[in-house]
Chains A and B, each alone.
Chain A
Amino acid sequence: MEPRISRILDDCLARINSGESVAACLADNAELRDQLDPLLNTAIRASALPKVSPSIEFRQTSRLRLLTRLKQEQQACNSAATATASAGETISGWRALWHGLSPAKRVAIVVAIVVLSVLTTVSLLPRSFNPLYPAPALASPCVLSILDGSAEFRSVTSDSWQPCRDGMVLQPSTLVRTGQHSNVILTFFDGSTIKLEPDTNIEIQKIKQNDDESADIVLRQAVGTTWTSVACGGETASHYRLETPAAVAEVQGTLFTTAVTKEGLTRFEAVEGVITVTAEGEAVRLTKNQLTEVDPGRPPSESRILPQAETELIVTSELPLVIAVLDPTGASTGFLPSGLSFNQIKDSEAARDPHGRQVISIQEPIAGEYKIILRPVTTGSAMVGLITKSEGTIISNIRRQISLKDRNGLLVHLDLVTESGSIVGSVITGLEPISDRLLEKVVATELAQERAVPFRLEASDTTNPDAATEADRSSDEATESSASGATDINSEAAEQAEAPSDTEVDEPASDEDATPDDRMENNQGRPNGRTDSTVGSPK
């Protein structure tokens, strides 16, 4: 009911804004007149508030103060750069001294410098680079992870293929191909990933880190299907270019699928972000949920909307639990408590809101065993949801309050059964603790870790109308991702019964003591339908 009235109210406001009268709007919605009339009048009154401004004194002095401060900071930065330049002059003085030394003395000095440098560098290196503390290759241009099956690689200048090893580092000018029933992930230094499905062949043409830490990545996909997640954190989004026999796609901060047949017919599907597909001098721009197809030698087809997924698996959680999902191929999508996010499952999306609520959605999930991993930020309990949908119908909707009494995570085994493309059932087949094991094949690059926003439990966290617990999804208008990287998933359910009820606040006895803050603290809306059965961590 609330969503319907809110829409009607919004429509009336738009009509009034364009010149219609309140009476006309109320006449068209006679059955809601009693509800709409006071709201419309309040809105009109709020719109009529005068435009207050800062004081004249503040306006005059603040600009000057601000710009002076900014210029001083800028000069401080420039001074540091000047100091570097003057060091160059000192170097030429030392050159003159060096040429005056005997050869034997020069050799002795060089050896001493080299030994000192090695010892100093090794001790100062962060552990991730330090050979004394072996660690995953976080700073490597590209790391290959084998999810299942096998893959081979070769240099572009060589003819012989060699087997890939899990965790190996790949350089530009390398070709990779996956075998039948094989899936592989390539992780780039900026956190971007590309999943290669079975019988896929790609070439890594270029991997470059720019000064602003953004990446320039160029790949060529000859055949097969890939799922790409391009990182968009930090100051500048990475530039990612994927070439196929038929077209070239340029992307920034995107999730998309690329399928290339043996004949070179290419299909691009954008799940998130923007892709520009160019072929034969013409370009097509894809935004969320759009696709284009390209025949070799022809321009890209006009963009069209992706058909709605027939089936969907949705997993939701809230703090203090952080979720990730592992699919039957070994690919994973979700989050770690450090805030690191990853998206390796084709047609999946993972979103978190500022309150730490997370939603992972997988369109057209394949049948098989899924592993749902729950990791605690701190001990406590949280509502976890598991929903499967098929042709618009909810097949299962499991909601449980999960309580973790220690820092061990919980692994939920979920068996998903499909028949003729429809989900017919989902069964939880097991629960086990996972301690601090990392089951996901996630390569935590330094850049991605730096950009990650850790999950933190705020004392003042309260529920809000955008609760990520869903019972249904509507096709509402899309919103773009914010600068922090969090994506708001549009959901009619967020507007409905699962949203916290707008409970009345008890007014304090005295208006003198009443503050907006007191009211905020008193407003503890609770979503309906929560079951508070506690499931402790199995021993």
Chain B
Amino acid sequence: MIQQVEKAKAGFSAQAVELVRDAASGDVEAFGQLYDLYLDKIFRYVYYHVPDKMAAEDISQEVFVKAWKAIKSCRGREDTFLAWLYRIAHNLMVDHHRRQRKCRSLEVQCRSKMTNSMEATELDLKELELVQALRYLPEEHQNVIILKFIEGFSNQEIGRMLNKSQGAIRITQMRALSRLRKHLTKTREGEDGT
């Protein structure tokens, strides 16, 4: 049975709407509470994209800094705050990947390897295999897998965040699962020597 993951929208309570409204009016403490509410979600989203936990933490924090600077645009649209946060995270990761392509320094590669070994202690082997396979997917496929199966958003919600139709989300979902499956199968065949 697919895990009953927490629905972000259901979690977007009246309290959260109030917090967004207050934060949009300049209330830093209200924004701090929003940070507490959504840091984990944004971190997870970033983490499954970047092979570096420390980079994921940095990017996650940057998401909220950028969000604060533009939070007035949420006035009147408080219920889209979370989707908007994901959008910021997505854009920051695009920037991150671009920077990474330009600067494949030894330091970054070492950090990646170090992070991988840290991950190995947090996740069991099968989970680690899946996470690593996920990172080999194209970004679009990663987004849909993470938002749908890990964060539990609906196709409609994902469509809003990624600016795509629900039909396109369904197709991407199917392609992503197919790719992920093939990757996992290849990895297993490689290990078995077949």
Distance A212 CA – B24 CA, assembled complex (angstroms)? 13
Q: Is B76 touching A9 in the complex (CB atoms < 8 A)?
A: no
Q: A9-B173, A49-B130, A50-B127 are in contact. Are A465 and B168 (CB under 8 A)?
A: yes
Q: How many A-B residue pairs have CB under 8 A?
A: 204
- A108 at interface (Cβ–Cβ under 8 A)? no
- Residue of chain A at shortest CB distance from B172: A465
Residues of A within 8 A of B36 (CB): 63
Give a binary string over B93-105; 1 marks a CB under 8 Å from any A CB, 0 the rest.
Answer: 0000110110000
A516 lies within 8 A of B139 (CB)? yes
**Interface: A520 (CB within 8 A):** yes
Query: Is B170 within 8 A of A9, CB to CB?
Result: yes
A44 in the interface, Cβ–Cβ < 8 Å?
Answer: yes
A52 at the A/B interface (Cβ < 8 Å)? yes
Is B75 an interface position by the 8 A CB rule?
yes
Q: Taking chain B's interface residues, is the majority helix, strand, or loop, or is none over half, making it mixed?
A: helix
Check A43 against B177 for contact (C-beta < 8 Å).
yes
Whether B2 and A63, one on each chain, are in contact in the complex, defined by CB atoms closer than 8 angstroms, is no
Instruction: Indicate whether A491 reaches chain B with its CB closer than 8 angstroms.
Output: yes
Interface footprint category on B? 35 or more
Please determine whether B4 and A494 come into contact, CB atoms closer than 8 angstroms.
no
Known: A42-B177, A55-B53, A74-B28. A47 touches B3 (CB 8 A): yes
Q: Are A46 and B130 in contact (CB under 8 A)?
A: yes
B33-73: CB near A (< 8 Å → 1, else 0) gives 00110011001100101010100110011001100100011
With contacts A39-B177, A51-B40 known, is A523 near B138, CB below 8 A? yes
Residues of B within 8 A of A10 (CB): 155, 170, 173
A180 at the interface (CB under 8 A from B): no
Chain B positions 139 through 165: 1 when the CB is less than 8 Å from some CB of chain A, otherwise 0:
110100100011000011001100111
Complex CA gap A48/B135 in Å reads: 17
Query: Does residue B178 face the partner (Cβ distance < 8 Å to A)?
Result: yes
> Considering only CB atoms, which chain A residue lies closest to B131 in the complex?
A49
Category for how many chain A residues contact B: 35 or more
Chain B residues within an 8 Å CB radius of A6 = 167, 170-171, 173-174
Interface pair B76/A2, CB less than 8 Å apart: no
Q: Is A327 an interface residue (CB 8 A)?
A: no
Q: Are B72 and A212 in contact (CB under 8 A)?
A: yes
Which residues of A sit under 8 angstroms from B60, Cβ to Cβ?
54
Distance between B52 CB and nearest chain A CB, rounded to angstroms: 11
Chain B residues engaging chain A, CB cutoff 8 angstroms:
1-5, 26, 28-29, 31-32, 35-36, 39-40, 43-44, 47, 49, 51, 53, 56-57, 60-61, 64-65, 68, 72-73, 75-77, 80, 84, 87, 97-98, 100-101, 122-123, 126-127, 130-131, 134-140, 142, 145, 149-150, 155-156, 159-160, 163-168, 170-175, 177-181, 184, 186
Which A residues lie at the B interface, using CB under 8 A? Answer: 2-3, 5-7, 9-10, 13, 16-17, 19, 21, 38-39, 42-55, 58-59, 62-63, 65-67, 69-71, 74, 212, 234-237, 252, 353-354, 460, 464-466, 474, 476-477, 479-480, 482-483, 486, 488-492, 494-495, 499, 502, 507, 514-517, 519-521, 523
Q: A48-B3, A515-B100 are in contact. List 5 more A-B contacts (CB 8 A).
A: A6-B170, A49-B131, A54-B43, A479-B165, A495-B168
